[in-house]
A and B are shown apart, each in its own frame.
Chain A
């Protein structure tokens, strides 16, 4: 772990002050994890904090904090401090950027509430004009409702419009994890309709109804998360031919790889796919420059989709 400067250690302790309420007992390991440090280093810093205070530095004027094993104990009030310290301009900027990446713009009520607790030096407009982290297309209220479902282990009924579908369908799900991949957010959940883990694009969730029913996330085992973010493991694989001159980029076909470079300049590519509709659409969108060779159902889906699209014209 990189050496932390004295200024950064002091900043870390000042950030913690709002958390150290009189009478509270907090896990040292939890605090250390939140601050990305070790329990031993944080314990040393808290010992330093315990001898800080105001003149004349008698025991009554020092920070009443004690580390006892894995517990941080606070037995009195922090001297002089009138409340938690506001977010500095850099901290507010980082929080605003993180929220923006999750679809919460600077004028979203949540961003506005949080940034009201920031330093006057933070300029939300300036940040919006100079930094864009968000390409997320979902409603922020959808993100909030899904996050709350995960936090409360609550079964949700969602109206979900899968790719290529004209209308949404209702799924009853046990929400497990939210993850972002290149700007789009996804939800990993146990889908009761499918009886399996499924990944849902958050911007295709068109409605959410909390059911009031609680689920036990341990019941499904750890396999849930292993199936989730960024993993193409276990998915079926389609074999596609990219004609000579047609660009293949792994970034456009996540998890895909070139299996063979043919003498005529074409490429045989293997692409993992979760849904036939998804891969069929992508092949059709290449307007003949990409051919689905296998499996047979993908090839048939491509032909059927192209006919449907022709009929729509």
Chain B
């Protein structure tokens, strides 16, 4: 008796070989593995599942008129990829590191992607490791995988959330996107009860439940202009909106190379005539802004606002007094 794996692979070969579109009934007769005594409805359900499985494997199965099927060969088979030894080594290093990181939520798909391009990145072993998230990484990885799937299928999610004050409450959100920041995964979505787009820390969630009803029908539409990048912030950008102010951070010429790295796409950077740079960035937390400037020195100073910069002098004098 032909098993399901054999039937699926045979179907893939059959569609790859077929010269013209073929009907489901013809496939049933020609492909080894479809039970002869199966009723038509059961066969069609099995055939639908098989097509989905092969599409998940990368085969572009198209139906021109809804009655006959063919493989779009150019959309199914890849041309060879030409990578330099450096590029191949980079893919091997990054891929190997993330495969071993339980907080990376897409390891199963990544593994198959690397298997498909294995001959292109055949550089030999490269030692690499990753820990994208550091608090209970396996749990974060698992939850993010569920949220990513829900976001893609536009399914709402219910969960209990414990906020920074230790209060727990149930939430229902429509997940729009996910981001990783400083060892933690975050979900951005519309909180249905509050009717606001909010950011939630995955590590603070429990009892997560993705809406399982009508799995192929979306529960919501994501705003067309949504961009998760707008929700990522630097440490000194957290705090009440009312406390927001504009800061200018100065990089001297020897440190200007780091301006783009530290900005990470936030704010605007202007090069100065002396070879330095000015980074203009909204901030909300004064203490964290000063900490950021000092931790990234030397050659990095706070230019504006003057009253916040003045706190730096007071604080540094206190450090010398304590350690004097």
Contacts and interface: CB of A to CB of B under 8 A. Distances in A.
Nearest to A184: B182
A49 B322 CA distance: 73
Interface in B248-265: 254-255, 257, 261-262, 264
Interface stretch (A68-76, A131-139, A191-199, A265-273): A131-139
Given A120-B75, A137-B261, A151-B92, A130 B58 contact: no
A219 interface: no
A80 interface: yes
Determine which residue in A18, A91, A143, A145 has the highest number of CB atoms from chain B within 10 A of its CB, and name it: A91
A167 interface: yes
Contact of B313 (A292, A302, A310): A310
B237 to A, nearest CB: 14
A251 B134 contact: yes
B57 A85 contact: yes
B55 interface: yes
B42 interface: no
B113 A92 contact: yes
Determine which residue in B53, B128, B226, B324 has the highest number of CB atoms from chain A within 10 A of its CB, and name it: B128
B202 interface: no
B297 interface: yes
B182 A183 contact: yes
Interface in A50-78: 51-55, 57, 63
Contacts of B55: 88
A106 interface: no
A129 B178 CA distance: 9
Contacts of B291: 285-287
A182 B49 CA distance: 39
Contact of B56 (A7, A92, A309): A7
Interface string A80-109: 111111111011111101110110100000
B162 interface: no
B183 A251 contact: yes
Interface string B197-234: 00000000000000000000000001000111100100
Contact of B78 (A84, A102, A182, A229): A84
Interface in A101-128: 101-102, 104, 110, 113-114, 116-120
Given A34-B115, A132-B229, A151-B85, A85 B76 contact: yes
A85 B97 contact: no
Contact of A302 (B109, B254, B323): B323
B13 A81 contact: yes
B164 to A, nearest CB: 11
Given A12-B112, A183-B180, A225-B127, A79 B13 contact: yes
Contact of B5 (A9, A57, A143): A9
A152 to B, nearest CB: 7
A211 interface: no
B307 interface: no
Interface residues of A, number: 115
A86 B76 contact: yes
Given A179-B128, A183-B182, A230-B131, A310 B57 contact: no
Contact of A13 (B9, B14, B81, B309): B9
A13 B112 CA distance: 10
A281 to B, nearest CB: 6
A167 B297 contact: no
B320 interface: yes
A179 B129 contact: yes
Interface size class of B (residues with CB under 8 A): 35 or more
A232 interface: no
Contacts of A206: 257
A135 B297 contact: no
Given A34-B115, A91-B112, A281-B294, A144 B86 contact: yes
Contacts of B148: 131
Contacts of A183: 132, 180-183
A284 interface: yes
Given A95-B113, A182-B134, A230-B129, A82 B77 contact: yes
Contacts of A16: 115
B98 interface: yes
A180 interface: yes
Contacts of B287: 287
B3 A181 contact: no
18 contacts: A10-B4, A10-B12, A11-B53, A11-B57, A52-B10, A84-B119, A85-B116, A86-B75, A94-B113, A97-B110, A102-B90, A119-B75, A131-B228, A135-B180, A143-B93, A178-B128, A284-B319, A291-B323
Interface of B: 3-6, 8-10, 12-14, 16-17, 30-32, 49, 53-60, 73, 75-95, 97-99, 101, 104, 106-119, 123-124, 126-135, 148, 151, 176-183, 222, 226-229, 232, 254-255, 257, 261-262, 264, 287, 290-292, 294-295, 297-299, 301, 309, 311-324
Given A181-B183, A287-B314, 15 more contacts: A10-B12, A10-B57, A15-B112, A34-B111, A51-B6, A83-B77, A84-B78, A87-B58, A101-B130, A110-B87, A130-B151, A133-B104, A135-B180, A164-B298, A313-B312
